[in-house]
Amino acid sequence: MSTVQKIVPGETRIATWRAIYNGAPARLCESARAGIEAAAKMVDTLVDSGRAVYGLNTGFGKLANVRISDADLCQLQKNLVMSHMTGYGPALDADVVRLVMALKVASLGRGASGAQYGTVALLEDMRERGVIPFIPAQGSVVPAAIWHRWRT
């Protein structure tokens, strides 16, 4: 069994990424968890405040300053994900997708996205268990769209 590679956001060396690409298991460093949880709490606090916050509870484009009702927020987020699920062509190789998943763990591990820690853990668990999403070779597929495809 391969050594578990430690993902340290902003500090992970190319040799680690190469090992992950070649199939080594990987986990985010434990020290990143506090930043992830703090950012997620900040998002919750902003949403609970009732203020309009672009990207969380407002419309987009001309509706960027229009607050969406709490009752419609889930549908707004679903629509946003669905609007970015555009792709075509053959699937990326599994090695590439595993690396993309690990890179997303590193990105979320910076604690700037507001994502829940459970999202990071889910992504790590999917990699570990060999659950590799279909990512088309062309187009725009955001990470949330990848997860949405597995839930529906």
From residue 12, alpha-carbon distances to 6, 106, 127, 133, 148 in Å are: 8, 9, 18, 24, 28
Distance CA(116)–CA(146), nearest Å, equals: 16
Known catalytic membership, residue 21: no
- Collect all residues with Cβ–Cβ distance below 8 Å to 100 and sequence separation of at least 6: 92, 135
Q: Which two tokens stand for residue 92?
A: 């990326």
List residues bridging with 140 in a β-sheet.
86
Give the other-Cβ count within 10 Å of 105's Cβ. 22
Return d(Cα 137, Cα 91) in angstroms, integer: 6
Which of these is catalytic: 21, 54, 88, 117? Answer: 54
Q: Pull the structure tokens for residue 103.
A: 């890179």
Q: Which are the catalytic amino acids? A: 54
